[in-house]
Amino acid sequence: MSGFDVVIIGGGLSGSSTALNLSKKGYSVLIIEKEESQNYKPCAGGMASSMQKFLPLDIKDAIESKIKNVEFRWKASDNVTADLTGESPFWIIKREKLDQLLLYESLRNGVQIIRPVLIEKIIKKNDKWEIKCNNKTKYISKFLVVADGSQSKWAGYFKLGPRKPKFANTISLRLKGLGEIPKDAVRFEFGFIKYGFAWAFPLKESLNVGLGTFINNSPLEDQTINNQVIRSFGFDDISCKPIYRKLRIWNGIHPINNDKVLAVGDAASLCDPFLAEGIRPSLISSFYAAECIDQCLLGKVDNLNLYTEKISNNWGKSMAWGKRIAQVFYRFPRTGYQLGVKRKTAPKRIAQILSGEMSYEDIAKRVIRRLLTNSRS
Ligand SMILES: Cc1cc2nc3c(=O)[nH]c(=O)nc-3n(C[C@H](O)[C@H](O)[C@H](O)COP(=O)(O)OP(=O)(O)OC[C@H]3O[C@@H](n4cnc5c(N)ncnc54)[C@H](O)[C@@H]3O)c2cc1C
């Protein structure tokens, strides 16, 4: 039987970054991961460079492309391009590499990981968590972090996040070469995919292609349309096997902590319901999770409630607007494209959202202010 300050369920992006943040504060941490290894992560790797500030580690080795332009298309035409101003505000990282960097740095800082291991039972005994695993070992910890991703088993068990989670359906492929996508641009393709969109994000020598539907639990079964989208990115041969995943997306503000337990990343349903951005909330939640657990372990506060509050203020409020925008945009995509993308200032605003400079809340407030001013004049 081994004892730790914190046990983390899941060693993906949010699990590893929480472990790293906690280990930098001097705590003993164990990660329990169910997979032996993960050579490919179905994630396009787009992230705002401003997120570096939430990590105690330079991640430049994981950056494959620094993005200067964001391209939008409606059914492979009606081109709109947004310049990303400033010093490379949007990066494409190789997810496997980022997860590995974070994990290795945490291990160097004393974090332990056991894999592949499945948790059989978790109970609370004498105010501590007792975690029984299929390796016949019991682990004891003062705090528990649920970081087991979109298919989380433990978030529901501990009543963290929405009672009925919402999911986006996604397909991802990594294609050799860049097709017709410039090495410093990302492409968003609307109009082909009902209730969603497609994206193409360049790595150094390959392209991360994704298709997603965000409302109505709409499936992505029409191979003819899927192939048409992929061909629009400049590929004829699509022999690579697509990976289907359900991505747990934001679905309202709910407690994501309970007594001595909290959820981070996808397990906490934090992924952007409009653009599928999940790296940013994973890093933000990991940062605040470590900060709030630290406050508890130092005896400065006696619960983790501040964690839910911080995430709802720093992320949830923007996502509430992201969800509303998604509901309208994906129901009326042609109008959405005309008003949301083709409007003169729109590409700049979308670029500002992607780079983390602006939130959906800021955008919504601007629109409301404009409507009020126009109706008064
Ligand atoms: C197709 C696609 C494209 C995307 N593109 C982008 C993008 O460009 N930019 C962006 O910001 N976001 C993107 N996302 C979202 C982003 O990938 C996720 O939000 C992010 O991976 C969340 O990280 P996580 O650590 O919470 O979950 P994960 O990375 O899924 O990690 C969960 C970990 O927990 C482990 N685990 C699961 N169950 C258990 C268990 N019972 N016990 C122990 N371990 C367990 C898993 O093996 C895994 O290692 C994309 C998602 C998809 C599906």
Ligand 1 site, residue 45, Cβ cutoff 6 A: yes
Res. 133: pLDDT tops 90: yes
- What ranges in the chain are assigned the alpha helix state H? 13-24, 95-108, 154-157, 223-232, 279-297, 305-311, 317-331, 333-336, 346-354, 360-376
Res. 86: pLDDT tops 80: no
The DSSP string of 88-135 is --EEEE-HHHHHHHHHHHHHHTT-EEE-S--EEEEEEETTEEEEEETT
C-alpha radius of gyration, the chain, whole number: 21
Res. 176: pLDDT tops 70: yes
C-alpha dihedral sign at 49, 50, 55, 57: positive
Residue of 280, 86, 246 whose CA lies nearest to 166: 246
- pLDDT (0 to 100) of residue 1: 67
| Percent of all residues in the chain with a pLDDT value above 90, rounded to a whole number | 76
- pLDDT digit string, tens, across residues 331-372: 999 988 888 888 888 877 877 888 888 888 888 777 776 666
Q: How many CA atoms lie within 13 A of 54 on its CB side?
A: 25
Q: Would you state the structure tokens that stand for residue 66, as one six-digit string?
A: 């620094």
Length of the chain: 377
247 Cα–ligand 1 center, Å: 8
Rounded CA separation 253/262 (Å): 14
- pLDDT (0 to 100) of residue 145: 98
- Whole-structure pTM value: 0.95
Higher pLDDT among residues 100 and 1, named by residue = 100
Ligand 1 site, residue 246, Cβ cutoff 6 A: no
Ligand 1 site, residue 34, Cβ cutoff 6 A: yes
Rounded CA separation 227/235 (Å): 9
Query: To 10 degrees, what angle do helices 13-24 and 95-108 make?
Result: 30
Rounded CA separation 156/166 (Å): 13
Q: How many CA atoms lie within 13 A of 254 on its CB side?
A: 22
Determine the residue of 13, 92, 193 to mutate for testing ligand 1's pocket, defined as the one with the most ligand atoms within 8 A of the Cβ atom.
13
Sheet strands side by side (includes 206-213): 77-83, 69-74, 185-190, 196-202, 206-213, 166-176, 243-249
Ligand 1 site, residue 198, Cβ cutoff 6 A: no
130 bridge partner residues: 123, 140
Ligand 1 site, residue 356, Cβ cutoff 6 A: no
Q: Are 261 and 8 in contact (CB under 8 A)?
A: no
Higher pLDDT among residues 121 and 39, named by residue = 121
